Structure formats: C-alpha cells, structure tokens
Structure 1
Amino acid sequence: MAISHIGGLLDAMTGLRQTVGNGGSPMRYGRLADLVRLALKMQGRADGLSLDDIGETFEVSRRTAERMRDAIRDTFPQTEELSEPGGRKRWRLPPGTTGRLADPTVEDIAVLHRGAELARQSGDKATADHLDTLSDRLRARMPGPKRTKLEPDIAAILEADGVALRPGPREGIPTETLNILRQAILAGVWIEVDHRARATGLLSRNARLGPMAMLLGEGRQYLVAYSEWAKDVRLFALAGFERIALTEDTFERSTEFDLSAWMQRSFGIWQEDIYDVVWRFTPEAAPEARLYLFHSTQELTDEPDGSLTVKFRAGGLREMCWHLLRWGDQVKIISPAALRDAMVDHLNKVQKAYS
C-alpha cells in the first residue's frame, strides 16, 4: 500500500511540475518527502490543515500550498473537507489512510533517543523515561528487519550529533521532585514546600508557592513560582526543595503576568534592573558571534573595520560576565558601566584566587 501511495504522489508531483512549467511561477516545492509529511500531518490532525497551515509549515506561497493540497487529494480520494465559521476550509485524511507511510523510521527513533539523552543530561529524568517509553512503543510497530539494524544506526546518529558524549556539569534533580511540580503546574494548585536557599543555606519551612513553570537545561535548574510571602514571582532552585506537598487550593496566575516577557527581561535567569547593553566583538570573532542569539531583543551592526556590535536590553549582569569570559579578549563591553565594573571585579577576584 505504501508503494502505491508513493507512486501516486510521484505522479501528482510530475503533473504539478508540468503545470508550473507551462507558464506558472517557479515552484519552490519539489520533494516527495514534503508531500509524505503533509499526508501524515493531515491524517494526524483531527481538525485537519488549512492552506495557511500548509504555507506556514512548509514555508511556501499560497499557490504552492494549493498545489500540495491538490496532490494529496489526487492521491487520496478519501480526503475530507471541513468548513469553519467564516468559510475557511480545512482538509484531513481519515485514520489509516496513509498505511505503511505512517510506520516509524530509524530517524524517528533517533530523535526520541536524542531528546531523552538531552533531558537526562539536564537532570530531567522523568521526561527522559517518558521519551524512552514512547520510543519503545514505536519500535514495537517497526518491521523485524528495521528493528535488527536499529541500534547501530541510532548509535551512529547520536554520536554524529555529539549528544551521547556531551560533557559538562549538571544537577541531578530527583524524579519525584519533577513529577510533583509538573502535577501542580498542570492542576493549577498551590504547593507547600521546605526550600533551602542556595546563597544563604537557610531553610524556609511551609512556604506557599504558586508554581508556573520549570526552567530546565544545562547547569542549574529552577522553578518559576509566585511566592505568597514575597507577593511576587520568584525563582527557586530545584535542588533546594526538601519537601513538596500539593494542596487543594486553586492557584490562579494573574492574567497580566506574561512568563515569556518576564524571562526576556534577563540575559539568563536572574531578574534585575534592565540595562541598555552594548558589546563589540573583534573582526576575528565577528563571524562566530554573528551566529549567536545572545538575546531576543538583540540588534547586530557590522562596523567598517570588520568588528560586530551587539545591542540588546536585559538584566543579569553576572551571567553576562560568565558568558563573556568564554570570548576572552575578543569582545569589549561598551555599556553599561555597571557591566564593565562587574567584569573587572570578577577578573580581580579570579586573579586574587590564583596569586
């Protein structure tokens, strides 16, 4: 069944190219893989896909999106058309339409392994275990010959990524901590905790927090939560939780609080006063620096001498210093003065430690 479907898609593609060649504009779409992916998406979405969805997903014009939809309808006559209020239409494929095209591939399993390994390295064992289980379910659907060659292929892909061998320190957060915090966030309830502050070592008992999100990744990991005592949003190191208890009290996040905007105020995680930050990278470092997204508000300017100026607005001076150290003498802090002072102070402390 999969072979006949692929043949039908190839025929549809041939017809599309001929149509475009007879006076149409050059068609950006030209890969069978995109049509297969579109068919799987139309089968996997209960509400189907609109032309706008197709255009955004595959980064194509509306006319090309129409051609792609037509190719699917020509190959799968059972394509269903849905109408939304306002007249906009969506299209979907009934379950089972794509047959063996929906079988998982080695690449699918490798992606799950990659995600699980990254989650495990960031200390999120609960997510890693869940991804491993999902991978096992997909493996069970694979034909025997594919399963036989699966392990060496996955190992090769992960090694090529550098994921399996990625070094670096990380915190190991207990699975129970992550699970109960996720449960609280999804349920929208207050929690009562005993938490030990990282900086002072002091233990706060029976603190009431309204959990919002967890910041997981390399290095230290945190819970973003509303503190009943502080009457404000605060960060709490996950490693500092010594007890967490769910309550039955509903926590309602303020409708005025925007987590994304709150996070964008800082360079890393610490919420401080916002500064107008300006860095200048040397001509030698500019090509590499240009590839970085230092902050979502950044503006890049190429200088006449080949150097690169980076501007953005954020707080988090300490974390900026930590990052800038990796660039050595290839970057200069133009502003703010507070960041220059913080960097000098940090370097003096390091020098003193080794003198």
Structure 2
Amino acid sequence: MRYARQEDLQKLALMMQGSAEGICLADIAREFAVSRRTAERMRDAVRNAYPQVEEIPGDHGRKYWRFPPGTLGRMIEPTLDELTAGHRAAAIARREGDEATAETLERLLAKVQAMFRADRRRTIAADLEAQLTADGVAFRPGPREKIAPEILSALREAILAGVMISADHRARGTGKLSRNTRIGPIAMLFGQGRQYLLGWSEYQDDLRLFALAGFERISLESDTYSRPESFDLQEWLSESFGIWREEPQDVEWRFLPDVAEEAAGYVFHPKQCLERLEDGSLMVRFRAGGRQEMEWYLARWGDRVEVLSPV
C-alpha cells in the first residue's frame, strides 16, 4: 500500500533537506508517530517523487536519507501561516519588553521575504497585514516594564557565553542598590508585565530572581558559570504560581457552577488536577508557592471562586 498524505510527505522532504546527517526510519517513525512499516512507505513515497534523494550508510547497518543542498528550491519557501507566526512572535516579544529579540526576529523575517519573487512579495505583504490586524496581538493593551536594550543584550550574551556578571542592581521591594553583585545568569523570564533574571547569587549562594528593571549596570566577568547538572528550569518554575518564589503548598480553588465551564478552559498550573463536582462547580488543585500572585489573579474572578486552601 502506498502512503499518500501530501502534507506529511512534504514535511518529510523538508526534514531530509534540512539534515546534514540524513533521516533514518526511526527518526521518521518518532516524528510522525507511525509504525516502522509506515515509515518505510513514507520514505519510499518521497524517493519515488524525488529520485535525487541520497542514501547514506550509518553505524550498525542503519541507513539515512537526505537531499543534496538546494535540491528542493522554492518548495522550502515559508507559508503565510509560518510568516504570520514569526511576526506574531516578534510582536509578543516587543509587548513583553524584549526589544532585542523583537528586532532580531523582524530582521530575519525581512531577509526571508526579500528572497521572494516580486509578485509573491506583494501578495504576502497584503495577506500578512490582514492576518496580523485580525490577530491583534501587537495592539493588545497591558502594562509592562521598560528595560534598557543594552541590559537585555548584555544578559543574553552572558547566558550564551556561560560567564558570571558583575552588576549594580536595585531591589524592587526596598529600593536598595547593591553594587558589584556577582551573579551566574541562567535564564530571562518574560511575561505578565514583570520581567526577571533567574541567576545564582554568589552572596546568597543560591538561585534568586532579579527584576530586570532593577539592573543599572552590567559587565561580563572572565570566570565561567554552569548551571547545576540536575537543575531543570521547567521543574523549578512549576513550583511557583507565576514568578515569585515561596515554599510550595497545596492549593484548592472551587469555581462556582456559572463560571466552571470558563475556568475549565484555563491552565492555572502545569501540574493542576481538575474535578467537576456534583453541583456543577469545578475544583482546581495543584501545589505551588506565590500566594500574592495567586491573590492578584483570583481578584479578576471576584466572588465566583472560593479559596479552600491555603486558608
């Protein structure tokens, strides 16, 4: 039996074009969640359509397939949906205060569109404007902090280089300025109007969050910093509701029946458990810290949510 799903075959061809080492049957089976036999049919369908496919022998008798560079030509031009996603990402980055990432994305998108034929550029430009206007992501209101681009650039450089920084940082709560604070930067956390750097504090010998808006000076040091091997950023973030760190505690919220359906459409926490009760209300349970941010968030639900825990 032949494999004839055109979208999958086109995606597979692009994977073969984009891989220097080539794609094996196990890669195909994993990427498309299919059996080995279906993976073989997909490979055969691409080879029948494109005889330029190269077969490369690998270790232990395994075989790989790829296209020579440039084989697919204009087939690899991005679609309107892909370009729209890129512009949406740039708009979100700018809205969250990450100007450097927004500008980098916009330069990349401009280079991509410059490679189109003139008639394709005109069509794409008109369609993109309509898509982005309909999406409205760039126009959504909301407060955000202003962060100097040179601060973001320096932090990004330090994270990529894996080096310590020396910084003058003003604490958000007290306004106290700490000079020459040595930090091992790990990641910048954007979103919800406030932006933070997660880093190891040499003074406190522990991981801490530093408000990005509090940095007044940053210089890169010569000594390196490596995050602990066992550290997992997503697992670390899941211990908090939002950003602020506290000792995790059991959380139980009961949303009243008239808003239960709406609440069920939200992911309040990556490890949440939802339960619909007999009266139609919705129980949400998870374990995390960040009580003040929970209170700020729950305020928007007014009296339609009951906090059972923590008291």
Normalised-by-shorter TM-score class:
over 0.9
Contact preservation (8 Å) 1:104, 1:141: no
How far does the alpha carbon of each residue in 1:269-320 deviate from its partner, in whole angstroms, 9 at most, with x for none? 1111111111111222222222211111111112122221111111111111
Task: Give yes or no for contact 2:94–2:102 (8 Å, CA) kept in 1.
Answer: yes
Q: How does 1:1-355 map to 2 (within 5 A)?
A: 15-16=2-3, 30=5, 32-337=6-311
TM-superposed CA distance for 1:86, in Å, is 4.6
Question: C-alpha distance in 1, partners of 2:34/2:138?
Answer: 35
Structure 1 position 62, deviation (Å): 4.2
Which residue identity does 1:100 align to in structure 2? R
1:221-259 per-position Cα deviation (integer Å, ceiling 9, x unaligned)? 000010000110000000000000001011122223332
1:61–1:173 distance in 2 versus 1, CA, 3 Å: farther
After TM superposition, give the deviation of residue 83 of structure 1 in Å.
4.6
Q: How far is the alpha carbon of 1:123 from its aligned partner?
A: 0.6
Q: Report which stretch shifted further, 210-219 or 56-65.
A: 56-65
Kept after mapping to 2: 8 A contact 1:42/1:48:
yes
Task: Find the residue that maps to 2:218 and give its secondary structure.
Answer: strand
**Structure 2 alignment gaps of length 5 or more:** none
Count of matched residue positions in the alignment of Structure 1 and Structure 2: 311
Runs of 4+ deviating beyond 6 Å: none
Deviates more, 1:268-277 or 1:301-310: 301-310
Residue deviations 1:96-124 (CA, integer Å, cap 9, x gap): 12122112333333222111111111111
How far apart, CA to CA, are the structure 2 residues paired with 1:294 and 1:16?
Answer: 41
Structure 1 residue 188, shift from structure 2 partner: 0.8
Q: Is the 8 A contact 2:3 2:38 kept in 1?
A: no
State the AA in 1 paired with 2:17: Q
| Aligned partner letter, 1:175 | P
* Aligned CA-pair RMSD: 1.9
Structure 1 residues 335, 86: closer, same or farther in 2, change over 3 A?
A: farther
Assess if the C-alpha contact under 8 Å between 1:194 and 1:204 holds in 2.
Answer: yes
TM-score by length of 2: 0.93
Q: Residue 178 of structure 1 aligns to which amino acid in structure 2? A: L
1:217 CA drift (Å): 2.2
Q: Deviations over 1:99-158 (max 9, x none)?
A: 221123333332221111111111111111111111111111111111112322111111
Q: Tell me if structure 1 keeps the 8 A contact 2:2–2:41.
A: no
The letter of the residue matching 1:188 is: G
Q: Distance in 1 between matches of 2:174 and 2:137?
A: 35
Identity of aligned residues (%): 55
Bigger-Rg structure (1/2): 1
8 Å CA contact retained: 2:264, 2:282: yes
Q: SS state of the match for residue 258, structure 2?
A: coil
Instruction: Decide whether aligned partners of structure 1 residues 69 and 184 sit closer, same or farther in structure 2, where only a CA change above 3 A counts.
Output: same
